[in-house]
């Protein structure tokens, strides 16, 4: 008995041939595309950089308008600072003694 084995190269070739046949049949089955003048103008505008650049300039101008309008709105800014200081309150004439008992109100 003589058995022949297919090599991977032959299998790849058969697979490629099958895919090529299927894809060519699909191409033949497609209907022709009609192109109108308006469609051609749209296709040309999509591939042209000038309309894209013009749209970008319009977007930039809109952003500048929003920035200028923001100048008329009120601005709010908040700051915070934490500082510890020790003052000699007795030197300033401030006494923290209880008037009735004479004891300090704050006992450190």
pLDDT at position 63 is 95
Q: Is residue 93 part of a domain?
A: no
Say how many domains are in the chain.
1
* 60 in Cβ contact with 53 (< 8 Å): no
Q: Is residue 30 part of a domain?
A: no
Q: Is residue 58 part of a domain?
A: yes
pLDDT at position 98 is 81
> At residue 15, what are phi and psi to the nearest 5 degrees?
-65, -45
Q: Could you tell me the pTM of the whole model?
A: 0.31
Ranges of the chain whose pLDDT falls below 50: none
Q: Is residue 15 part of a domain?
A: no
Q: Is residue 9 part of a domain?
A: no
pLDDT at position 66 is 93
Q: Is residue 49 part of a domain?
A: yes
Helix (H, G, I), strand (E, B) or coil at 81: coil
Supply the range of the domain harboring residue 61. Answer: 37-69
Cα–Cα dist 17/15, whole Å: 5
Q: 87-103: per-residue pLDDT in tens? A: 777 777 777 788 888 78
Q: Is residue 50 part of a domain?
A: yes
DSSP H helical ranges for 1-108: 8-29, 37-47, 49-70
């Amino acid at each position: 008995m003589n058995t022949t084995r297919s090599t991977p190269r032959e299998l790849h070739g058969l697979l490629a041939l099958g895919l090529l046949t299927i894809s060519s049949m699909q191409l033949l089955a497609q209907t022709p595309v009609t192109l109108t003048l308006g469609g051609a103008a749209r296709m040309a505008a999509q591939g042209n950089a000038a309309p894209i650049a013009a749209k970008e300039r319009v977007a930039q101008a809109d952003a500048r308008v929003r920035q200028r309008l923001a100048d008329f709105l009120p601005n709010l800014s908040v700051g915070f600072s934490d500082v510890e200081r020790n003052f000699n309150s007795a030197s300033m004439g401030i006494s923290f003694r209880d008037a009735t008992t004479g004891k300090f109100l704050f006992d450190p």
